[in-house]
């Protein structure tokens, strides 16, 4: 009797697991990276959580800051889908992740990413109405419309992202299940598939066009009209104030959409693992980190409420 042969259950367990390599190529920096990303995670939770809470606590901010509150909550969800697992891998050096957990993580990352794209487009439309049609703004962007736009942003991608994730994990995978990434993203997972991935890659392009390129084009259209209106304003002071209102949103848009478009629409090569990891840091970690600084905390209303709370 061969005692070295593994039982079926153990073989099945091994087959159903991946290994997230993350930053394994930098063994001497593991604890430094753990501390760095832990601090970043805490800052993201505290800063975005503060924006969310003050908009709920102050009645004067609930209406004008409705989109910001939802965006800050979304950023907390988005970063929580990736950073805790990465911190656990860095801290314990146990990089294994089950196929079910990997699929769940990918699904949530895609869902929150798609929601962020749509919400950024909604916020651009909000700026368009506020600047180009200010007299009708309270009517056009009433509370009911805001709720409908935010709800639509959250639920539109649910069936698409679940179906997309299911289709990817229905592929047969090779014996080597080492994911050269710090979370379960589409490009590194597809590189592990043994079968033909042409259909899956085409679906990636289609989903990217629908949930990244299309919202990005809507944002560009909104801002082209906004800029044309701003340039017609009579005084330089009015122009500067209008540009200041939009500049923060544009910075977040460029940071998020730029990295997403390059990651998912770039031709798939075998030597792009390092580039994929760097780019994914932008749209999964840096955008949630910088959002309160370059967007929310530059808002005068938010700063006034923060000062009021600190004084109390």
Domain parsing of the chain, residue ranges: 22-311
For the segment 137-166, what is each residue's pLDDT rounded down to a tens digit?
889 998 899 999 999 999 999 999 999 999
Contact of 33 with 90, CB cutoff 8 Å = yes
- Mean pLDDT score, 267-290: 78
Identify any residues that bridge with 97 across adjacent strands, giving them in sequence order.
18
In angstroms, the CA 44 to CA 80 distance is 10
- Taking residues 170-177, report their average pLDDT: 84
Sheet holding 96-98, edge to edge: 96-98, 17-20, 178-179
Quote the pLDDT of residue 13.
41
Using DSSP's 3-state secondary structure scheme, residue 173 falls into strand
Residue 248 has pLDDT above 80, yes or no: no
The confidence band for 295, taking pLDDT boundaries of 50, 70 and 90, is: low
Write down the pLDDT at residue 237. 73
| pLDDT tens digit sequence for 101-129 | 999 999 999 999 999 999 999 988 988 89
pLDDT at 94 over 90: no
The DSSP letter of residue 29 is G
Question: Angle of helix 83-92 relative to helix 30-57, nearest 10 degrees?
Answer: 150
Q: Which of 45-59, 212-226, 291-305 has maximum average pLDDT?
A: 212-226
Which two tokens mark 166? 């299911």
pLDDT of 11 higher than 60: no
Compute the mean pLDDT over every residue in the chain, rounded to the nearest whole number: 84
Which pLDDT band, with edges at 50, 70 and 90, does 2 fall under? Answer: very low
CA-nearest of 246, 225, 253 to 133 is 225
pLDDT at 224 over 50: yes
Largest CA distance in the chain: 91
Measure the CA–CA gap between 122 and 176, rounded to whole angstroms.
42
Nearest to 127 by CA among 288, 307, 252: 252
Asked if 66 and 150 count as a contact pair (C-beta separation under 8 A), the reply is yes
Q: How confident is the model at residue 168 (pLDDT cuts 50, 70, 90)?
A: very high
Which among 19, 22, 4, 25 has a CA at the least distance from the CA of 87? Answer: 22
- What confidence tens digit (pLDDT) does each residue in 25-72 have? 888 888 999 999 999 999 999 989 988 888 777 666 666 678 888 999
Contact 174/194 with Cβ under 8 angstroms?
Answer: yes
Instruction: Identify the band that residue 87 occupies on the pLDDT scale cut at 50, 70 and 90.
Output: very high
Distance CA 76, CA 156 (A): 19
CATH architecture, range 22-311: Up-down Bundle (1.20)
């Amino acid at each position: 009797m061969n005692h070295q042969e593994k039982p079926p259950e153990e073989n099945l367990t091994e087959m159903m697991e991946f290994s997230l390599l993350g930053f394994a190529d930098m063994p001497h920096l593991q604890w430094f990276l753990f501390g760095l990303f832990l601090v970043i995670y805490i800052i993201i939770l505290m800063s975005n959580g503060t924006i969310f809470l003050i908009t709920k606590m102050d009645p004067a901010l609930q209406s004008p800051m409705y989109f910001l509150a939802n965006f800050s909550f979304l950023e907390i969800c988005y970063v929580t889908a990736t950073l805790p697992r990465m911190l656990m891998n860095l801290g314990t050096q146990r990089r294994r992740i089950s196929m079910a957990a990997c699929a769940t993580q990918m699904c949530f990352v895609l869902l929150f990413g798609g929601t962020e794209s749509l919400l950024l487009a909604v916020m651009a439309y909000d700026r368009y109405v506020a600047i180009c049609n200010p007299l009708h703004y309270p009517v056009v962007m009433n509370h009911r419309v805001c709720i409908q736009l935010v709800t639509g942003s959250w639920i539109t991608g649910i069936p698409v992202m679940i179906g997309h994730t299911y289709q990817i994990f229905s592929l047969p995978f090779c014996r080597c299940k080492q994911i050269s990434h710090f979370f379960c993203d589409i490009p590194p997972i597809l590189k592990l598939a043994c079968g033909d991935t042409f259909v899956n890659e085409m679906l990636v392009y289609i989903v990217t066009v629908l949930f990244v390129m299309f919202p990005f084009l809507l944002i560009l259209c909104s801002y082209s009209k906004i800029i044309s209106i701003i340039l017609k304003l009579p005084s330089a002071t009015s122009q500067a104030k209008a540009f200041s209102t939009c500049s923060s949103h544009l910075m977040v848009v460029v940071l998020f959409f730029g990295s997403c478009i390059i990651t998912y629409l770039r031709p798939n090569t075998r030597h792009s693992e390092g580039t994929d990891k760097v780019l994914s840091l932008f749209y999964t970690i840096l955008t949630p980190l910088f959002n309160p600084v370059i967007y929310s905390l530059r808002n005068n209303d938010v700063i006034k409420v923060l000062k009021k709370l600190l004084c109390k």
